[in-house]
Structure 1
Amino acid sequence: MFDSLISFVREQYRTNEFIPLHAPIFKGNERDYVVETIESTFVSSVGAFVDRFERDMSAYTGSPKAIATVNGTAALHASLLLAGVKAGELVITQPLTFVATCNAIAYCGAEPVFIDVDRHTLGLSPVALDEWLHEYANLDADGLCRLKDSGKVVRACLPMHTFGHPVEIDQLLAVGKRWGLIIVEDAAESLGSLYKGQHTGTFGQLGTLSFNGNKIITTGGGGMILTGEELGVKAKHLTTTAKLPHPYEYVHDEVGYNYRLPNLNAALGCAQLEQLEGFITLKRSLAARYESELQGSELQFFQEPKDCRSNYWLNAVVCENRDRRDALLKATNDQGVMTRPIWQLMNHLPKYATCLRGDLSNATWLEARIVNLPSSVTPELSA
């Protein structure tokens, strides 16, 4: 029943073999840089490519500082600690996200509060956020946001740019300013995405990226913290075991984390970053082809929000209902074309089922309908 879509996908990738959802492509200097790292013997957390990757990412995103980490979850955890999140406090986020977003909150001993998303961005709704805060929170004499009933501190807000599509981050910043909330952006999926010409992850006090093997560029594993000069220095210190500089002594002045990205991974990242704009061009071309192919069908292609440039990390369609979603998932996967549903809502997972939440109508509606289609970059797409 979805044969035409399956045929279309196979035409794009020019293969009758299994088609993954998103696979990396290595066509640049990856091999040369990795070999150079091995020959230097600096394959661990100290080396020239770590420094270069941080500088290159700072220049690309426009962030004053970029601090490489071992993965995106580590970047999130460290960023929340730098934002001042403490045990027993609350962090507002969206239920429609990957579990790492919530896990990073839990690592701090804090709890997530789930606020609904907007259907046109798939990300945290600034209107729903403001309405929930007006109903359930107030500002104390010190300007801290607290719940009216329990007095718990609401410390931060953690929106995610879902599938590379930017949230309405300027409006979220405005709400955060009114309520004394620190904004930490989960930009794990949105490297190369722009909101009104500015790179995602650079609006809040802190932002994070991921370079997992399924992201638009990869370091094998890896992440990055984007922030300003002062917090950047603190982030580097915190993620390198809080070790103070000394010619030979081991002096650590606080509890630190061994979240450093190895030089070997950074070498891969430098080569991948050199190709990023080309990857985005090809992925946006694929997205336009999907949109054209699906016009007039029962599947609604999800388009980038207004005033944004999305990297279209994962292409998505909205099905009529859950039954049609499940039918699409079965038909494609049975024929070797990998598709996936969106994540289960975080409030449906046992660990987070009892967390505070607002009305989640949009997130629930999307959970039952979204399907991701193959979105890999391949050289054939440029033909």
Structure 2
Amino acid sequence: MIESFIEFVRDTYKISDLIPLHAPTFNGNEKAYLNQTIDSTFVSSVGKFVDEFENKIEGFTGASKAVATVNGTAALNVALHMAGVERGDLVITQALTFVATCNALYHMGVEPVFVDVSKISLGLCPASLEVWLNDNADINDSGKCIHKSTGKRLSAVVPMHTFGHPVELDELLLVCEKWNLVLIEDAAESLGSFYKGRHTGTFGKFSAISFNGNKVITTGGGGMVLCRDEQDGKRVKHLTTTAKVPHPYEFYHDEPGFNYRLPNLNAALGCAQMEVLGEFLAKKRLLADSYRSFFNKLDATFVVEPEYAKSNYWLNSIIIEDKSERDRFLEVTNSNNIMTRPVWKLMNTLPAFSNCIQGNLDMSISLEKSLINLPSTPIIKV
């Protein structure tokens, strides 16, 4: 299987040297817009491309308000802050995630609680969430969700749309409503993914998107907070611009804020990328279809989008149940200059989070041992 896969990927990409996992593609107006930005001298946080980029994301996702930030972690930090998450709280998330999810919590003085993921979506499992809450939480007289053993407040749930596959949002929202928890979507990987016809990141009170160099579109670095309520969005904009009160020349900041503004240079890149997002998504689906057909009769399972969703297929993935065979696949493909990667180490196994509260993580553990990400750059003909 491995040798035929190597041949298939080389034939697909028509590249004889290194085939990366996910590389950015610049075939549009990127250079023109960057030159415009340089010529204008507005290369930092003030400039027309920041507003234009936010407007484009609002139009594409249907969010009431989108606010650009310097990266996805900053976006998640602000989303958590806006949701009322406070130092000393517990926040439920998944152990099968990129470390940025937990880093945002850690630096707020918040402890993650790890609940298992769903085989359907690879994201936070609503059934596992319900079981953990029934066993470990209560609602107190003031309506707060409290962890029985520690007495700490459980304030939010942060599911991640793993590799762009939407989680089971309706079910998660029902559990959150029952337990008075705020749902915040880690939509870092899911630009262009839809749950029952509606864009991810528009279901939670707030969500965070990433535009890192390896995402569907990139601004180099960059992120975006999506807000369900327009007034919340205005407050996010205020907070991320150091909470400075507008004035022709005075510097007055009415509360502690964040210097999380996205530079105009990065936004210019994002505007150009948004112009070709539709093509990128179409080509990524074609690539996913090719992988699915290739693996159809082999001893590997291609990870497909859930029936309720339309995924962006940010990273294509397969599952090889035999761990020794999985490891051999990784070793041989990488030694042949085809970049494949295992899923991240589970967060509860990392030193910073090894003592965090956790539920049953059987599915997460299984996926960590069996999942492989494949080259997923959309094939765009110049």
Q: Same fold (TM over 0.5)?
A: yes
Q: Structure 1 CA distance, aligned partners of 2:355 and 2:323?
A: 25
SS in structure 1 of the partner of residue 318 of structure 2: strand
Which runs of 5 or more structure 2 residues have no equivalent in the other structure? none
Residue 244 of structure 1, CA deviation: 1.0
**Aligned residue type for 1:277:** G
After superposition, the C-alpha distances for 1:49-91 in whole angstroms (9 at most, x for unaligned) are 0000001100110001000000000000111011111111000
Query: Aligned letter for 1:297?
Result: L
Q: Quick one: distance in 2 between partners of 1:15 and 1:103?
A: 36
Q: What SS does the aligned partner of 1:368 have?
A: helix
Mean alpha-carbon deviation: is it higher for 243-252 or for 120-129? 243-252
1:257-280 CA deviation, whole Å, 9 max, x = no partner? Answer: 110000000000000011111101
Q: Tell me the residue number matched to 1:217.
A: 217
Structure 2 Cα separation of the partners of residues 114 and 179 of structure 1 = 17
For residues 126-161 of structure 1, the C-alpha deviation after alignment (integer angstroms, 9 at most, x for no partner) is 000011101100111111100122211000000000
- The C-alpha deviation readout for 1:274-320, integer Å capped at 9, x for no partner, is 11111010000000000001111111100000121100000000012
Partner of 1:371: 372
Partner in structure 2 of residue 303 of structure 1: 304
Kept in 2, the 8 Å contact 1:24–1:377? The answer is no
The percent identity for this pair of structures is 56
Per the alignment, residue 74 of structure 1 pairs with 74
The within-5 A match list for 1:1-383 is 2-227=2-227, 228-380=229-381
| C-alpha separation in 1, matches of 2:239 and 2:170 | 28
CA RMSD of superposed structures (Å) = 0.9
Deviations, residues 301-343 of structure 1 (Å, cap 9, x unaligned): 0000012110000000001222111101001001010000000
Q: Distance in 2 between matches of 1:154 and 1:320?
A: 35
Whole-Å Cα distance in 1 between the matches of residues 368 and 346 of structure 2? 7
* TM-score normalised by the chain length of structure 1: 0.98
Gaps in structure 1 of 5+ consecutive residues: none
Say whether the 8 Å CA contact 1:117–1:363 is kept in structure 2.
yes
**8 Å CA contact 1:322, 1:368 repeated in 2:** yes
SS of match in other structure, 2:317: strand
TM score, norm. by length of structure 2: 0.99
Instruction: Please list every run of at least 4 consecutive aligned residues from structure 1 whose deviation after the TM superposition is greater than 2 angstroms.
Output: none
Give 1:378 shift.
2.3
Amino acid at match of 2:298: S
Counterparts of 2:34 and 2:198, CA distance in 1: 31
User: What count of residue pairs does the alignment treat as equivalent?
Assistant: 381
SS where residue 183 of structure 2 aligns?
A: strand
More divergent stretch after superposition (246-255 vs 71-80): 246-255
